[in-house]
A = this chain, B = another copy of it.
Amino acid sequence: MTTSTHETEIVADARVPLVRITRTFDAPPAKVFRAHTDPDLLVQWLGPRDTEMQINYFDCRTGGSYRYLHSRCDGMEAAFRGCFHEVRPSELIVQTFTYEGFPDGVALERVVFEDLGDGRTLLTSTSLVDTFEDRDAFLASGMEVGVREGYERLDEVLAG
């Protein structure tokens, strides 16, 4: 299997406490969208390579909600949860996101699937919080490794 790896761009917005992540995938929007909404596909790619993902519930529709667990062989465990504000097939997912280790922190996330033609998709994922301190702590948390590795794994799922 040969997959061209596209660059993942992670940018801290200058004006608002938001992180913007962009990444191109060699698959059409419907296929990239399905990999975000089908739990059986999601567990194959979300998060860094050294973690196992376990889904408690994942009802990916407007008004649904989710919770999942990431665990590493060294015993590290992290749980995440939120609700789906809007899910528009092949176009958009708007959801909330909380890392349960920091239960009062909530991000508003928006994932946009844009058709680039030729079977390619531009994914833009934004994460908005209410202070620059929390945004910068999120960026400094090592999330970058998880995002880049996760999208490399997603390349593999899409090529499979």
Contacts and interface: CB of A to CB of B under 8 A. Distances in A.
A70 to B, nearest CB: 20
A132 B62 CA distance: 26
B96 A16 contact: no
B96 A108 contact: yes
Interface string A13-34: 0011110000000000000000
Interface of A is mostly: strand
Interface residues of A, number: 24
Contact of A85 (B62, B83, B130): B83
Given A16-B132, A106-B108, 5 more contacts: A64-B83, A83-B83, A94-B106, A108-B128, A128-B128
A65 interface: yes
Total copies of the chain:
2
Nearest to A92: B104
Interface of A: 15-18, 62-65, 82-86, 94, 96, 98, 106, 108, 110, 126, 128, 130-132
Contacts of A18: 130
A133 to B, nearest CB: 10
A83 B109 CA distance: 13
Those 7 A-B pairs whose CB atoms lie nearest each other, nearest first = A63-B65, A83-B83, A85-B96, A108-B108, A128-B130, A83-B85, A94-B106
Contact of A130 (B16, B62, B86): B16
Nearest to A130: B128
A94 to B, nearest CB: 6
Nearest to A18: B130
